[in-house]
Amino acid sequence: MNFGKFFTRHTGTTPGAFRGSLGGVPATWAAAEADQVTELVYIAAFALDPGTSMRGWMGGDLPPTWIHSPDGLAVKAGDAEESSFSGVDPVLAAEAVKRLNWHGLRAFTEKLGARPGNVPLTYVVVTEDPARHPAVQEQWAVRGAHSLRVPSGHSPLSHPDEIATVLADAVARATTDA
């Protein structure tokens, strides 16, 4: 499902982002520069401060389990079935791993340029996440207008019904506030 199209069709506004993990950084920056974003929904996503890069937040190093591309310009998780897709049905996780693409290193080194000041954030802390410790997520969740905990691994594929409820609630708030 394309959440952005669904949200826009039902509310007449732009949702901004439903993002998890690494997608939190570009979603945050894009929302800061957009006029019609009504809410950001993060699932175990990086919610960095402006001027911080993901690599800088990680202490300058990328996780040791990540694989570097042959040209050294990109990376991807080498342990994705255990880290990114923990708790997901093994057949679905294996299929998801096959579809993983490389992430350019610039995505990790570029500093966040801006964060929106007036866009509410919903932060979903996934409490069984081996990739991003729940205590770190809790620190980011306090910034949110809404936060909740889901007993899930890193990927929303492990608890789709709970995540669908979070998204439906965001749509309802935008519809009510519009």
Nearest to 17 by CA among 45, 40, 44, 43: 40
Q: What is the pLDDT of residue 7?
A: 44
For tokens 């019609």, name the residue.
Answer: 36
β-bridge pairing 74-77 and 66-68: antiparallel
Phi, psi of 97, rounded to the nearest 5 degrees: -60, -40
pLDDT in the model for residue 18: 62
Contact 20, 44 (CB under 8 A): yes
Helix (H) or strand (E) holding 128: none
Q: Supply the pLDDT for residue 57.
A: 92
pLDDT digits (tens, 9 = 90+) for 83-129: 888 889 999 999 989 998 999 999 999 999 998 888 889 999 999 98
**Positions of the chain with pLDDT under 70:** 1-18, 177-178
